[in-house]
Amino acid sequence: MEGRKRKASAAARWARCLCGLGWLGWVVLAGACRDSVGTAVYATIDFPPSLTMDQLRVSGMVAGSGIGPHFLPEKPERLLANGDTFRVLLPSAPDKSEAELTVEGLREGTRVAMGSTKVQVLEGMEVDVTVRLEPAAPDDGEFCPDCPSGCCVSGVCTTPTFNTCGTGGIACRTCDPRTADTCASEGYCACGRGAACDPRTTDRCAGGACRCGSNAPCGFGQECVSGRCACTTNSCAGCCVSGVCAPGNTRDRCGKGGGTCMKCSNACSATGTCS
């Protein structure tokens, strides 16, 4: 389905990549936004209110080349909503070639919906499409039809509990007691009223709240290690100073890969190397 076509200045395209795509907008399927890239598909998802999804799996073809699969977002944080959007950059697609996108809606890693669309690519322009997602059987084969309020165990529709969590007839899953304390009515494992805890920045769900030890979840560039937040080589792309992750590109705090920040005598490069 082809929607309206837009041709924008490089500055406008850059702005949309940063802030115009809603909560999925930080993911750009073909790489980072660049001023020189204008050929793109801007997709909006639409689906029945009965569906609950927390992630998309996007794949496709254009001019004989594959697209993806890409997972949006990389880590689910909340349920998707109608009108959520994403952009597919196609800098090398020939003018007026046909792009076909397949979008699968996932809930806790299991497919619950699917839709596809075809659109003509226009060089230097961004083409809008809406992809309609409809209920679909899981790709793992475990599915119970006519089971809107329960999940599936060996072909039997089962009432959701902490150990059999899910709705819509998908395969039941057991929630992890380290990251969740309940199965939400929407069929996903939850900690209190929120999503399940991130095991990288927390080590427990206690009293309906995610925690690292007895404290709040760890911040950016940290991970929870033995009940304490730490800056490590696994969590920080820059450098570590006093347990905090720094960008690693300044003279006083230079470094990369989660190593200890260094103070440069002259300057620090953008890649975290003293000069």
In angstroms, the first-to-last Cα distance of the chain is 53
For the ranges 66-75, 96-105, 165-174, 253-262, the maximum mean pLDDT occurs at: 253-262
- Pick the closest to residue 245 from 188, 62, 148, 257 (CA basis): 257
pLDDT at 222: 95
CATH code (residue 41)? 2.60.40.1120
pTM over cut 0.85: no
Is 12 among the domain residues? yes
Judged on CB neighbours under 10 Å (0-12, 13-18, 19+), 222 is buried
pLDDT at 24: 36
Do 102 and 207 sit in the same domain of this protein?
no
Is 273 among the domain residues? no
Number of domains in the chain: 3
Query: Domain residues for 229?
Result: 197-262
Do 214 and 242 sit in the same domain of this protein?
yes
Which residues lie closer than 8 Å to 59 by C-beta, 6 or more apart? 66, 67, 68, 69, 70, 101, 102
Do 176 and 84 sit in the same domain of this protein?
no
pLDDT at 205: 96
The helix/strand/coil state of 127 is strand
Kindly indicate the confidence band of residue 95, based on its pLDDT and cuts at 50, 70 and 90: confident
Question: Tens of pLDDT along 31-69?
Answer: 333 333 478 888 899 998 777 788 999 988 888 888 878
Looking at residue 222, its amino acid is: Q
Higher pLDDT, 26 or 200: 200
Do 108 and 61 sit in the same domain of this protein?
yes
Do 18 and 73 sit in the same domain of this protein?
yes
